[in-house]
Structure 1
Amino acid sequence: MDQAERIDAVSSFLLQSPPGEINDVLNDVRNIIADDALLQEGILPSLREYNIAQFTTVDVPETNHQSIISEAARIVAEESEERFLDPRSKTTFVFDHLTLEASKPEPYELDTPHEEARVSLEKAALTYLASHFLDGTVSVFAPSELQEAFTLQIVANKYNPTNFWSGRWRSEYLVNLSDKRVKGKILLNVHYYEQGNVQLETTHNISFNIPAAAASAAPATAASKIIALIEDEESRYQVSLNETYREMGERTFKGLRRALPLTRQKIDWDKVTGYKLGAELSSSKGVFGSS
């Protein structure tokens, strides 16, 4: 396998990294390349793809909050340097996909006639985030000047390597006040790896209408009603997940194995060695015991 094939293999591993474990994966595959300079150069495109898809969060320079790295946040600048937008502070910055750090902040004027509505939606989303997510980040973008439409993104991470699990919640919604419609999805990834390796990766699509009265209300009122509808959808999904896991534990997993061995008696695992010794003695007696 040549170096190009090795880089492709490493990149594939990185794109499948569980939440919060990409550095662990990177350290594990360094020996495959054995050339850190070549490795960094070769995997940068995959790291960029991973960070954008996974809604990687970053501390925004000169602020006390984080922003989301995503396709909605990407600014197509005239120069070759790719920049990302934090709409909350109206700042753009350069993001290092290897070190996960932001630099070179610059002010950015959000030239859109719907900025008041965007800010109202952002404030309502931050209130929702504080109530339901222990460690989360939210960003609200206004990608369209022609329509009163906004992209709302939420990400929350929970890493617990001491207990061998990690998880990431991502949700993204296109809130279109012009069409009175919200379309979005929830993406959930959980990794549990104590004496094994189990991953859950699921996507749940959401779509609902915005009541006409809410869509035409004052920006703050409309934003509160829309976030309340999103909260209802996400709460229902959370409840459905809990019910699914309970059913899996009580029915599905039990159906994959025998409740009892063929003897219909539970095995006392502390006596397994004794069982084996007894079987060997019985076997020996059968062969040599008679005279």
Structure 2
Amino acid sequence: MNAEDRIAAASNFLLQSPPGEINDVLNDVRDIIQNDDALQSGILPALKEYNLAQFTTVDVPGCDHQVIVSEAGRIKSLDGGEDRFFDPRSKSTFVFDHLRLEASDPQPHEVDMDAESYRSSLESSTLAYLAAHFEEGVASVFSTPDSTKRYIIQVVANKYNPQNFWSGRWRSEYIVDLGENKVEGKVLVNVHYYEQGNVQLSTTHTVSFTLPPSIAQLQPAQATPKILALIEAEEAQYQASLNDAYHEMGEKTYKNLRRALPITKQKIDWDKVLGYKLGAELTASKGVFGGS
């Protein structure tokens, strides 16, 4: 395998990294490449793709909150330079280092004031929902440059527990279209258990519902909590379905995978398995020859 093939393989591994484990995967692929300069330049496109897709969060310079780094907030460079990312809460942009996961060079950014009133109210309602349901979660709400009636809500919540060999990530994204009076979105859940094994859950749930006409007639401060309440109902229903699926796996699927215990209900001591066999043969011999 040549260097180019090794870089491609390393990039593929990175894109499949479980939540919170990309640094572990990166350290492992270093042994494959054995050239840090080639590794850093070769895998950078994969790191960018991974960070955007996984809703990587970063501290905003000069602020006390985090923002989601995603395609919704990316401002593409027109002169071939570095892309910048937008934080709608602080109304600033920054450069993001996809390798070190750090933000730098914050600069103020002009926003569309026609959309800002509704966006900021939607953000406040989203943050209230976040505080109620996602411990240590992060949310960002973006307006779209092509319309003053379309907004993007993004939520990410991570839970890492390496001491007990599991990690998980919840991502949700909703496009609120006031012009069409509808909300469309998706929920993505990734869970990884790796104690003496490797089991991963990766699932996507799509959401689509129509907003009641009465919401469009309300002021933003009254309308946006109702929109989040509808999102909350959708996510609660999906969470319940996940709980049911986990229960079924525990009661049926995983039990079918386990090796059944012998009739004595005792685990077999494999170091004594020859003794078990000999005892069975002696018992059979007594039955055939009538020994006592």
1:107 alignment counterpart: 108
Listed one character per residue, the Cα deviations across residues 212-254 of structure 1 (whole Å, up to 9, x for unaligned) are: 1112201011100000100111111101100111112112333
1:182 shift after superposition = 0.1
Distance of aligned partners of 1:118 and 1:280 in 2 relative to their CA distance in 1, 3 Å threshold: same
TM-score, with structure 1 as normaliser:
0.92
Which residue of structure 1 aligns with residue 265 of structure 2? 266
What residue is the counterpart of 1:236 in the other structure?
Answer: 237
**Partner SS, residue 253 of structure 1:** helix
One-letter identity of the residue aligned with 2:62: E
Instruction: Note the alpha carbon deviations across 1:45-95, whole angstroms, 9 max, x for none.
Output: 000000000000000100011001100010124442210000011010000
Aligned-residue Cα RMSD (Å) equals 2.0
* Aligned with residue 277 of structure 1, among 266, 275, 283: 275
**216-225 vs 246-255, which deviates more?**
246-255
Q: Determine the structure 2 residue equivalent to 1:43.
A: 43
Q: Which amino acid letter does the alignment assign opposite residue 273 of structure 1?
A: D
CA displacement at 1:29 relative to structure 2:
1.1
CA contact (8 A) 1:6 1:33 kept: yes
Please say if residues 159 and 167 of structure 1, whose CA atoms lie closer than 8 Å, have aligned partners that are also in contact.
Answer: yes
Separation in structure 1 between the aligned mates of residue 46 and residue 192 of structure 2, nearest angstrom:
21
Tell me whether 1:91 sits opposite 2:89 in the alignment. Answer: no
For 2:20, what is the secondary structure of its paired residue?
coil
Query: Corresponding residue for 2:67?
Result: 67
Q: Is contact 1:206–1:233 with CA below 8 Å preserved after alignment?
A: yes
Q: Give the TM-score taking structure 2 as reference length.
A: 0.92
Contact conserved, 1:155 with 1:170, CA < 8 A, in 2? Answer: yes
Q: Give the 3 Å change call, closer, same or farther, for CA 285–219 of structure 1 in structure 2.
A: closer
The match for 1:289 is none
How far apart, in 1, do the equivalents of 2:280 and 2:218 lie?
Answer: 85
Query: 1:169·1:188 contact (CA, 8 Å) conserved in 2?
Result: yes
Alignment CA distance shift 1:258-1:275 (3 Å):
closer
What is the Cα deviation at residue 259 of structure 1? 4.4
% identity of equivalent residues: 58
Unaligned runs of 5+ residues in structure 2 are 285-292
- 1:117-132 paired onto structure 2 within 5 Å: 117-132=118-133
Residue 33 in structure 1 maps to residue 37 in structure 2 = no
Given residue 114 of structure 2, which amino acid in structure 1 is its aligned partner?
A: P
Q: Amino acid of the residue matched to residue 266 of structure 1?
A: K
Report the Cα offset of residue 111 of structure 1.
Answer: 1.9
Structure 2 residue identity aligned to 1:90: K
Give the drift of 1:148: 0.6
Q: Which residue of 1 aligns with 2:288?
A: none
Q: In the superposition, relative to structure 1, how do residues 284 and 44 fare at CA in structure 2: closer, same or farther (>3 Å)?
A: same
Q: In the alignment, which residue of structure 1 is the partner of 2:135?
A: 134
Offset at residue 112 of structure 1 (A)? 4.2
Cα distance in structure 2, aligned partners of 1:11 and 1:237: 32
The CA distance in 1 between the partners of 2:220 and 2:54, in whole Å, is 30
The C-alpha deviation readout for 1:190-229, integer Å capped at 9, x for no partner, is: 0000000000000000001111111220101110000010
Letter in 2 for 1:114: A
Q: Which ranges of structure 1 fall in alignment gaps of 5 or more residues?
A: 287-291
- Superposition deviation, residue 272 in structure 1: 4.3
Cα distance 1:252–1:283, how it changes in 2: closer, same or farther (>3 A)? closer
Equivalent position amino acid for 1:117 in 2: Y
Q: Say whether the 8 Å CA contact 1:147–1:178 is kept in structure 2.
A: no
Query: Contact 2:190–2:203 (CA<8 Å) still a contact in 1?
Result: yes
Post-superposition shift, 1:277? 2.8
Per-residue CA deviations over 1:169-191 (Å, capped at 9, x if unaligned) read 00000001111100000000000
d(CA) in 2 for partners of 1:274 and 1:78? 73
Q: How many corresponding residue pairs? A: 284
Worse-matched range after superposition: 227-236 or 75-84: 75-84
Alpha-carbon shift at residue 42 of structure 1 (Å): 0.4
Aligned amino acid, residue 178 of structure 2? L
Is residue 2:16 matched to residue 1:22? no
Aligned 8 A contact 1:112 1:145 in 2: no
Alpha-carbon distance between aligned partners in 1 of 2:253 and 2:132, rounded to the nearest angstrom:
34
